[in-house]
Structure 1
Amino acid sequence: MNLWGRLRDMVVTRILGLDDSPQRIARGVFLGFVVAMTPTLGLQIVLYVTLAAILRVNKVSGVPILFITNPVTALPMYGFCWWLGNAVLHGGSGGAGWEEVRARLMEESARSDSVYEQLLSADFWSRVGEAMAQLGGELWLGSLISGVVLGAPAYLLSLWGVRAYRRHGDHALNPEPDVPEPNVRNERSTPPPPMV
């Protein structure tokens, strides 16, 4: 199966087909985007499930979204979020400079030989936490703004998608080949032969 087919199957079976109200599923998707953008790499699933339970949203629908943040995508995503937060808080000036932030993030991601070694190292996670704390308000504000901006249209799209999926059923998104109906004899058209 190709990538598009896998993505479609994941959306259809894991999000649209959930057994919950469309609003709760869509709110879970929204919360998934907000949490995915926060600088809580490594804690996002725990944070999401906890917030989902408190806010009474679907605990499953946002989990696939959390995987957009990983050690490979963290640098560009958090760099953009810091830039956005810095622009909002300081008008683009003041605070730490972009070069300083980029150098700090690159330093943290380059201290180990491989991504797998980083993921398994408690020292790596400690350094990531320290770097995130030092980047402070700019990163958090930019992350929350990004999460809300991405989550709002995702909420509307998933709400519409769940309702459409339920209105038209599974066959609307997963059409099956037309199978001819078996020949059923219409009893009114020809009476059965008499019994002798």
Structure 2
Amino acid sequence: MFKRRDRRPFLRLVLELFWPRGGWARAARYVQHRLHRLPDSPETIARGVFAGVFTTFTPFYGLHFVVAGTLAWILRGNIIASLLGTFFGNPLTYVPIGIASLRTGYWLLGIDRHEPHHKSLVASFSSAGTDLWTNALAWIRDDPTDWSALIGFYHSVFYPYMIGGILPGIITALVCYYLTVPVIRAYQKRRRGALNAKLAALKKKKAEGGARSD
């Protein structure tokens, strides 16, 4: 009943993941529109945005909504705004975000950033996901498991990424916070003004209608 009549080919679905219909500019305008209409104070909404943007600098792929929502709850921010804030991370920004976080982590932990055995960021996470799935199935079937590759991934990629993402994540999230507050405040003020003007016009029209009937 709710399925699309024109089922999109798999290739088109993949392409729209990297370039949505209408482009990323349209997607950004949609997120901005939704943020503007959230019924909360500018500071509360901005704290939610902070949580969402910061989460995109963490290596918890697949759990970003959960992490962002939890962080927003801790910060007393708007949870919906935190989910929208995670769109700061997308297929066009995840690679530079990951590289910045990973290199910062290597620097903070004193790890050689040019070790030849390091895979590319995408390949590392892809390989780790495959290993995790394979070992999970083996554990369910009571077959032998091998966690050595995942342990190596944790020490060489995941942990440095997690540590290194804190600093650039906080800086970027703070910039987004201080940009969001005045924008939301101005929008809400303009919207209240428009609603008050509409209400005043309706009252005036009603009063004029009553005077004519008299």
TM-score by length of 2: 0.60
What is the CA-CA distance between 1:77 and the residue it aligns to? 2.8
Q: Is the 8 A contact 1:108 1:124 kept in 2?
A: no
**Cα displacement string for residues 35-93 of structure 1 (whole angstroms, at most 9, x for unaligned residues):** 11101001111112122223211101121232444677544432321111222332xxx
Q: Is the 8 A contact 1:25 1:61 kept in 2?
A: yes
**Hey, what does 1:142 align to over in structure 2?**
164
**Hey, what does 1:40 align to over in structure 2?**
60
Mapped partners of 1:124, 1:73: distance in 2: 29
Q: Is the 8 A contact 2:48 2:77 kept in 1?
A: yes
Q: Which has the higher contact order (CA 8 A, sep 6+)?
A: 1
Which of 7, 19, 35 aligns to 1:15? It is 35
Q: After the TM superposition, list the runs of 4 or more consecutive aligned residues in structure 1 that deviate by more than 6 angstroms.
A: 124-129
Write the letter of the residue equivalent to 2:36: L
Which of 77, 81, 88 aligns to 2:97? It is 77
**Cα displacement string for residues 145-167 of structure 1 (whole angstroms, at most 9, x for unaligned residues):** 12111111100111011011012
Unaligned runs of 5+ in 2: 1-20, 137-146, 195-204, 209-214
Mapped partners of 2:91, 2:30: distance in 1: 25
What is the aligned residue count?
Answer: 164
Which of 123, 133, 138 aligns to 1:106? It is 123
TM-score by length of 1: 0.65
For residues 40 and 108 of structure 1, do their structure 2 counterparts lie closer, same or farther at Cα, with a shift above 3 Å needed?
closer
Write the letter of the residue equivalent to 1:101: H
Write the letter of the residue equivalent to 2:35: I
Mapped partners of 1:35, 1:96: distance in 2: 23
What is the CA-CA distance between 1:6 and the residue it aligns to? 4.4
**Does 2:64 align with 1:54?**
no
Mapped partners of 1:154, 1:107: distance in 2: 29
**Hey, what does 2:4 align to over in structure 1?**
none
Mapped partners of 1:57, 1:75: distance in 2: 27
Write the letter of the residue equivalent to 2:133: D
Write the letter of the residue equivalent to 2:185: R
Mapped partners of 2:116, 2:168: distance in 1: 21
Identity of aligned residues (%): 26
Q: Is the 8 A contact 1:41 1:70 kept in 2?
A: no
More helix by share: 2
- For the aligned residues, what is the CA RMSD? 3.8
**Does 2:144 align with 1:123?**
no
Mapped partners of 2:74, 2:174: distance in 1: 20
Describe the SS at the equivalent of 1:37: coil
